[in-house]
Structure 1
Amino acid sequence: MPRLAIDSEYLATRLSQLLDIPSPTGYTDTIVRECCDELRRLGVKFEVTRRGGIRAFIPGKTDKPARAIVSHLDTLGAQVKLVKDNGRLELVSIGNWSARFAEGARVTIFSEKGAFRGTILPLKASGHTFNDEVDTAPVGWRHVELRIDAMTRSAAEVRRLGIDVGDIVAIDPSPEFLDNGFIVSRHLDNKAGAAVMFAVMDAILSQKAEMTVDTFFVFTIAEEVGNGAASILTPEVASMITIDNGTTAPGQNSDEFGVTICMADETGPFDYHLTKKLVALCRENDIRFQKDIFRYYRSDSASAVTAGADIRTALITFGIDASHGYERIHLHALRSLAELTTTYVTSPVAIRRDATEMSQSLRGFPRQPMVEADEQRSEPEVAAAEPTPDPEPKSAGKSHRKKKQGAK
């Protein structure tokens, strides 16, 4: 199935709307409601977990082995650690990000009595007072404080507003969508990935594409703190592709254009066969791509596997500059990701054995090449992704069928 046409205007509009909704980990109810409203508008069936993870569903020609496409809705943020005597707030980060990027950020504090605006500042913020000390002050969350835009000159005045320890602080994204396709904002990780998923569903439904197998489009709400897709997949899901950001930085091969396919992150290599298939689909459909490895990175894929899901996982990314800071991406990468995802969800199943969670046979189990390169047959990579079944003795086959019939 060739790649589907992606509505780039819809993709960008969806991203802008998602960025408008604060959603630091632990404060995601509003964005979950927004995504469910959009799924209803598209006509996609969905389920919502107790805490707000969304499992949308588009049926395929068969139910197994089901596929999942995953991204996360939660973002970085902060939390009130201490109400200080000077009427300002000490913070701890939500997710792993530097206080260097927090300095100067405009924020919203969500208290029991309502929302308040404020600014995160270094402890020594005024050059007129501290002179060169503003440049030599240490960097870290203990060296910043939140100034509330209200009459708060003491801890008592802060508490009268209803602000207290544990309150969530959302960081303004301050997005800019440039005419040349660049998008600059905080929290593109991973609202851009969520926007890509919506663009994929929109393309599938508007162009009446036929799904090969049942496919789940999963939105998680706690990826930034390591939980992610740990408890939202169904047993039918055999392969999962995570859509997230890839870091464009010195020493990395990621790019702000095309798809960056992650070969490994800090949790180890991604699935050999699934990753190889994605590379082949890019080549077959003329989708620009590059490969990369991320040393200090984990995603929804890692949380699913470490939680015990026996699934094949892969990670496809949009190149992002200054990840977990003030980020920049390009619409070309988002469109490329959406195109690749449409080719994948409409492609044939390569490893049909994956429809069964456990098997007493190696029949249909895939092979990885072990011979030297010049001995290998030259075949298209998509064909190579289809495993060669191992021969099975007739007696073993009969025994397997008898057991299967008996169990049924």
Structure 2
Amino acid sequence: MHVTIDEAYLLEQLKALLAIDSPTGYTDEVVLHCSRELERLGLRPELTRRGAIRAVRQGSRRAGARAIVSHVDTLGAQVKAIKENGRLELVPIGHWSARFAEGARVTIYGTQGIHRGTILPLKASGHTFNDEVDALPVGWPYVEVRIDAITRTAEQTLKLGIEVGDIVAIDTGWEFLDNGFINSRHLDDKAGVAISLAAIEALERAGAHTPVDTHWLFTIAEEVGVGASSIVTADIASMLTIDNGTTAPGQNSSEFGVTIAMADQTGPFDFHLTRKLVELCKENDISYQKDVFRYYRSDSASALEAGHDIRTALVTFGVDASHGYERIHKHALTSVAQLVAAFAVSQVKIGRDANEISGPEGFTHLPQR
């Protein structure tokens, strides 16, 4: 069954998601947004204590269910210290370089109020420091937040209601161009969330039937390595993760089509599930390429490390400058959504996966010489 993706809906959802600050640890509002949208699409979201979302779309069978996961949390920062000059020292939330933080506009979610500011290098004035601006090392100890309020001392900043540990959200600065390119921070993984919602919308609009239940999962702490560790249930046999790929020298990812990850730093993805994705791309005329990521982990890794015995695969939209000021083309987003929908309606080929434990009958084979 061919399911058509509504590209306008996908991009509308991406814009809405990018408008909501959601660094890891500050995800409640984006969780509520996604929950409302899932309800509007006809699904019933279930939330964990901290806000990870599960919405099950019923299929012909419960056992051997499939999970499709993306994460709503993004990179960000926290106040490490309030400096004597009233400015803020930061520590990053997630792994990203201070090189991309310099010049960013931010929102400081203070303990007693919300303030705006800018991340600046310690030596920011060219008229004062001249070449010393370029000689300053790159790193979080060499940047600070200038708060857009009257404060020149630590005491004044404390009176603003800003304290150590407060969340600092980084502006996206998004721009959607007429030629299809999208520039923004936090496409990782808000684009993945928009893809999930677009795939659900397409399946619902088509009244598509699936051979097994589909668990649509939205995690809240992937950027700090927790991800899908606690939201996978025993009925799930396979999990498809949606996240960003990396278009960079030495990589095979692309800003167009689907990039299927064959391995990341935790090792190879499931042979059979990955091969199935390639076959679905060919059957549905979806352009694709394969890639291997060296400095990368996703919700798949956290699920396996938590002890869940499931097949996992990773399908990505290739972004340029990942974990920096990112860029993608809408062609990749729509392509991934098409593949995700095709996966949801595809037939189950490994029937024994419905059981957690069974004998060798029906076990899979691999090519041998």
Figure out how many residues of one structure are paired with residues of the other and give that number: 369
The residue type paired with residue 135 of structure 1 is D
Could you give the per-residue CA deviations for residues 178-237 of structure 1, whole angstroms, max 9, x where no partner exists?
Answer: 111100000000000000000000000011111110001100000000000000011000
> Equivalents in 2 of 1:96, 1:71: separation in Å?
18
User: Alpha-carbon deviations, 1:234-263, whole Å to 9, x = none?
Assistant: 100000000000000000000000000000
Superposition TM-score, scaled by structure 2 size: 0.99
- CA deviation map 1:130-163 (0-9, x unaligned): 0100111100000000000001100000001110
Provide the rounded CA distance (Å) in 2 between the counterparts of 1:124 and 1:229.
41
TM-score by length of 1: 0.90
Summarize deviations over 1:20-77 as a string: whole Å, max 9, x none: 0000000000100111111111111120000000001100011121000000000000
**Equivalent residue runs for 1:255-334 within 5 Å:** 255-334=254-333
AA matched with 1:363:
E
Q: 2:362 aligns with which of 355, 360, 364?
A: 364
CA deviations 1:335-361 (Å, max 9, x no partner) are: 0001111111101101010000011x1
Cα distance in 2 between the residues matched to 1:278 and 1:40? 28
SS in 2 for 1:263: strand
The 5 A counterparts of 1:191-210 are 191-210=190-209
Q: What are the superposed Cα offsets for residues 310-334 of structure 1, whole Å, 9 maximum, x if unpaired?
A: 0000000001000000000011001
The residue correspondences of 1:7-406 to structure 2 (distance < 5 A) are 7-359=6-358, 361-371=359-369
| Cα root mean square deviation, aligned | 0.5
Q: Secondary structure at the match of 1:290?
A: strand
What do the CA deviations read for 1:1-30 (whole angstroms, capped 9, x no partner)? 33x110000000000000000000000001
Alignment partners' CA distance in 2, 1:365 and 1:46: 34
- Give 1:114 deviation, angstroms: 1.6
Partner of 2:227, secondary structure, is: coil
Q: Match of 1:221, as an amino acid?
A: I
Alpha-carbon distance between aligned partners in 2 of 1:115 and 1:341, rounded to the nearest angstrom: 38
DSSP-derived class of the 2:169 partner: strand
Give me the whole-angstrom Cα distance separating, in 1, the residues matched to 2:337 and 2:247: 19
| Cα separation, 2, equivalents of 1:196 and 1:335 | 7
Counterpart residue identity of residue 276, structure 1: R
Matched letter for residue 60 of structure 2? K
Which amino acid in 1 is paired with 2:257? G
**Structure 2 CA distance for aligned equivalents of residues 46 and 365 of structure 1:** 34
Distance 1:148 1:56 in 2: 40
Q: Distance in 1 between matches of 2:362 and 2:15?
A: 45
Counterpart code for 1:10: Y
Deviations 1:268-297 (A, max 9, x none): 000000000000110111100000000000
Letter of the 1:369 partner, please give it.
P
Report the Cα distance in structure 1 between the residues aligned to 2:327 and 2:274, rounded to whole angstroms. 26
The AA in structure 1 aligned to 2:92 is S
Task: Indicate the SS of the match to 1:213.
Answer: coil
Amino acid at match of 2:223: E
Q: Distance in 1 between matches of 2:41 and 2:113?
A: 33
Task: Give the corresponding residue for 1:405.
Answer: none
Q: Which runs of 5+ in 1 are unaligned?
A: 372-408
Q: What is the identity, as a one-letter code, of the residue corresponding to 2:271?
A: Y
Which of structure 1's runs of 4+ aligned residues deviate more than 3 A? Answer: none
CA distance in structure 2 between the partners assigned to 1:139 and 1:286 by the alignment: 44
Deviation at 1:305, TM superposition (A): 0.2
**Aligned partners of 1:112 and 1:369: how far apart in 2?**
59
